[in-house]
Amino acid sequence: MNRLVLIGNGFDLAHRLPTRYSDFINWYRKEWGARLLYECGRTLRDRFYSFTLSDSINLVNWYDVWKYHYCKSQPNEPWTEQEVLEIAQRDRNLCDYYNSSLLFEKICKEIYKPWCSIEDIYYAFLKSSDDPKQINDDLEFIKEKLIEYLNSLPTYSFNPTIQKQILAPISKEEIAIGSKSQWDEMMKDRLNYDDVEWEKLIDGYYTDYGSLLTAESSIKYFKNEFATDIRSGIFDNVMESACPAYRLPDNIMLLNFNYTNTADMYLPKSENPGKFEANHIHGTLNNPKSVIFGYGDERDDEYNVLMKKNDNEYLRHIKSFRYLDASNYRRMLAFIESDFYQICIMGHSCGVTDRTLLSTLFEHPNCVSIKPYYHQMDENKDDYRKLVQNIARNFTDPRLMRDRVVRKERCEPLGAK
């Protein structure tokens, strides 16, 4: 039995990386404030913003404005990037300012929305636009600036709790009722493992389980004490804590929807190729052309309308087509076809912008469990219910969803010590 770990932006946030959409927009605005403070020229622009000093401002450069046109009450008090940008956007006597992108203007007003909501806004603009190239070029520019921003972020620290959660044994209590027979079959098979099969199973699991995994006496005790019960199909009588090694995933894939490589540091080293692997399904920062940023819900009522427009520009940033540019999607399919698997959700919001892919994973016959690691905001507030509601939107069968999603008492906050 395998484990597929869905890595989303909440995973990076759990490592205190400033990767919220608001962090990115504030960085972009601060970058613009710095340009207005220090760059030469009367006109400064990029794809979205343009600032041209008014004819009445008899200065050659923008940086002179803050020396000779605007003066602070305290002469030695420096201007901040935020101050100068707000003045330049507000003061029509100072300059001609405009934002050339209605898409960017809209998402700047939604600065505290999650990334999936930004992709929702893009899709709404795309559906209503007669000029999809303009919308897509705007999104391309946002992607370019996002890559630049993420590349500027500091390093992150290792979290031992998260590694324990990634490598944790699977519990029978987390398995869907409809998949109990697969669980019992796995336990019976493992009773008959020879030394080679056993070593292959525990290879790489070197953390807090170490002494138990390598204790041959514990393995033999478990086999001798509980073999009869397990072969009789009454594994419920067996204490799961007796030998957690029997419940370790055979293989683990980190399906990373982020562009960062934060999750990669949690992959153990193994002598068995493919036992632990990272799959950057949406691309990586070190290969900007691989980055996928757009929309991925083919079940949306208006998706077929876009298909019928006979204009491929409407499909440029639809994720399903971008997945064909690399082997990552096929690697994921090969993984879920290879054996039964548990899904662990770590920081992914499970929004509908990835619904085509998530539905494939959640409703696959080999999926036996979906375990959300939720975000604990404070002592009395968490997002478990919101996350489960989002998961439900990726199912066509509500009964199947209720069986496969692990109940809250068996879940825990991501990275909580």
pLDDT tens string 189-212: 887 888 788 888 888 886 544 444
Task: Work out the average pLDDT over 122-149.
Answer: 94
Here the tokens at position 181 are: 């027979």
Task: Work out the average pLDDT over 22-41.
Answer: 95
At residue 219, the pLDDT reads 62
pLDDT greater than 60 at residue 233: no
- Read off the pTM: 0.91
Least confident segment among 52-56, 71-75, 364-368, 409-413? 71-75
Using alpha carbons, select from 390, 356, 397 the residue that is nearest to residue 374: 390
At residue 221, the pLDDT reads 60
Q: Rounded distance, CA 70 to CA 84, Å?
A: 10
Q: Where are the domains of the chain?
A: 2-19+155-159+248-410, 21-109, 171-247
Q: Are 367 and 401 in contact (CB under 8 A)?
A: no
Residue 322 one-letter amino acid:
R
At residue 214, the pLDDT reads 46
Task: Work out the average pLDDT over 113-117.
Answer: 82
pLDDT greater than 90 at residue 262: yes
pLDDT greater than 90 at residue 50: yes
At residue 209, the pLDDT reads 46
Please, what's the b/e burial string for 2-17 (b: 16 or more CB within 10 A of its CB; e: otherwise)?
A: bbbbbbbbbbbbbbeb
Task: Work out the average pLDDT over 215-236.
Answer: 59
pLDDT greater than 90 at residue 335: yes
Question: What mean pLDDT value characterizes the chain?
Answer: 89
Interval 338-387: pLDDT, tens: 999 999 999 999 988 999 999 999 999 999 999 999 999 988 999 999 99
Task: Work out the average pLDDT over 60-64.
Answer: 93
DSSP 8-state class, residue 68: I
How sure is the predictor about 97, in pLDDT bands with cuts at 50, 70 and 90? very high
Q: Rounded distance, CA 63 to CA 55, Å?
A: 16
* Terminal Cα distance for the chain, rounded: 27
At residue 210, the pLDDT reads 45
Interval 312-333: pLDDT, tens: 999 999 999 999 999 999 999 9
At residue 115, the pLDDT reads 84
Residue 243 one-letter amino acid:
C
All residues at 6 or more sequence positions from 402 whose CB lies less than 8 Å from its CB, including other chains: none
All residues at 6 or more sequence positions from 163 whose CB lies less than 8 Å from its CB, including other chains: 207, 266
At residue 215, the pLDDT reads 45
pLDDT greater than 70 at residue 238: no
Task: Work out the average pLDDT over 29-41.
Answer: 95
